[in-house]
Structure formats: structure tokens, C-alpha cells
Structure 1
Amino acid sequence: MDLIQLTTLLKRHMKDLKAYYESHEPPKNRRDHEFFSFVKTQTEPIHILLAEWEEKALHTLKQRQGIHVYPQQIISSKENMRLLIMHSYYIDTRKRIYMEMYKSVQYVLDQLLHDLQSGS
């Protein structure tokens, strides 16, 4: 999968995570092993995708000119996305903080897509 496809897929996963965050209640017991297993099976593919995205994005930044995203933004976006994944299921942060992280990751993904698609 190329970087454009990976980035687009991550954006779709982000929308799904946000929808889950907005439509569910926090788990009654955060130590529930059944819920943990559910979260793990739901999020493991996203974590794998995220690792592949980071690797390809950092490699692309080194190889191509005209991409207006810095390596630190890629690394920070990966970390913020990992936090979003967990906060989406455990719903343990305020909506304002969640949305700030969401918008931050969204901005980097959008900028990267724009630069890749414009052929800069």
C-alpha cells in the first residue's frame, strides 16, 4: 500500500474512532478483561497500519522535496493517534482535549495528502 492509501485509510479510521467516542459510554469497569480483549482486536489493525504509515511517511520526507510536513509532526501524529485510539474506547478524557488531538492529527494527515497528491 502506498502512502496516499495509508493516509486515506488512517483518516477513515479516525472518523470511525470519533464516532465511537461520541456514541458510547465509558466502560463500567476499566479493568474488564473482556472489554480489553474487544479493544485489542478492534485496534490492533490500526496500530499496525499506523506503524507502516509512520515508516513510509518518514522515508518519503527524506526522499521528496516540497512536502510541508516535518518528521517531528509525523512522530507526534503517530503518538496522538495512539492516544486517540485508547481514549476513543475508554472515553477517559474531556471532549475538548480529545478534539484538539483529533484536529492536530487530521491537520497533518490532510497536509501530507495535499502535498503528495499535488506532486510537489
Structure 2
Amino acid sequence: MSSKLENQIWTIKQELNQLKDRFLASDKRADKKDRALFEQVKEETSPLFTLIQEWYDEAEQYVKMNPGSKVFPLQLENTKDNFELLVLHSYYIDVPKKRYMELYNSVHYVLDQLLDNFR
């Protein structure tokens, strides 16, 4: 299980970096009523939301089976929520850069804590 989880974490970290690049490259706010943008976002983010859920399920099982883990179940839940927010904020630029980076760093921190369990 841990190697699958570790691979998911590395994949998520790559996706996070791509999302951050997208956020930083965008210089305008998206029109939330733009149906074409909504369809594009839905199509492009669907695999990410699937990845997030798969990671969460795997990480939750790992934490339950390894009580000495550096990560608690509540952290996993919050990280899942924060990652989902990052996905949306990367397309709909509606938060300040500081807030975006706080979410970004928070998700990376928990992922790094999980990776530390494998070392």
C-alpha cells in the first residue's frame, strides 16, 4: 500500500506545481458565469478530483494502519479540502496570491509529512 500512496503523493506534488504555475501565469479573473470556461474546467479537473479522492482513501487507510504516523486523520481531510480549493482557485482566480500560497504550502507540508513516514 505504501508504494502506491508514495506514487500518488509524487503525482499530486507535480500536479500542485502545475496548478501553481497556472495560477501565477493568469493575470485576469475568470468570469464565473462563462459556460465554456465551466465546461473546460470540469473536463480538465475531473481527473484531479479523482486523484484527490484516491489519494485520500489510500492515505486514510495508511494512517489508520500506522498509528505512529506523523499525520492525523483530520489533517488528511483538511488537506483534501485545501487541494480541491487549489484546483478551483487555479482556474477561477478569485483569491489573493498570499491565500493561494498558504493553501499550496499547507498541502505540500502534509504530503511531505506522509513521505517522511516512508523514510
Tell me whether the two structures share a fold, i.e. TM-score over 0.5.
Answer: yes
Indicate conservation of the 8 Å contact 1:26/1:90, yes or no: no
Length, aligned pairs only = 117
Please state how far the C-alpha of 1:26 moved relative to its aligned partner: 3.2
Cα distance between partner residues in 2 of 1:94 and 1:43: 21
Equivalent residue number for residue 78 of structure 2? 76
Q: Any residues of structure 2 matched to 1:3-42 within 5 Å, and which? A: 3-42=5-44
Structure 2 residue 108 is the aligned partner of structure 1 residue 106: yes
Change (3 A) 1:34 1:72: same
Q: Secondary structure at the match of 1:5?
A: helix
Large movers: runs of 4+ above 4 Å = none
Structure 2 residue 58 is the aligned partner of structure 1 residue 56: yes
TM-score of the superposition, structure 2-length normalised?
0.93
Over residues 37-96 of structure 1, what are the superposed CA-to-partner deviations in whole Å (9 max), with x where a residue is unaligned? 111111110100000100010101111243200000000000000101111111100011
Cα distance between partner residues in 1 of 2:28 and 2:87: 14
1:2 to 4, 17, 26: 4
Identity across the alignment (%): 37
Give the letter aligned to residue 25 of structure 2: S
Unaligned runs of 5+ in 2: none
Over residues 75-119 of structure 1, what are the superposed CA-to-partner deviations in whole Å (9 max), with x where a residue is unaligned? 000000010111111110001111111111110001101212x1x
Unaligned runs of 5+ in 1: none
Q: Secondary structure at the match of 1:26?
A: coil
Cα distance between partner residues in 1 of 2:83 and 2:46: 13
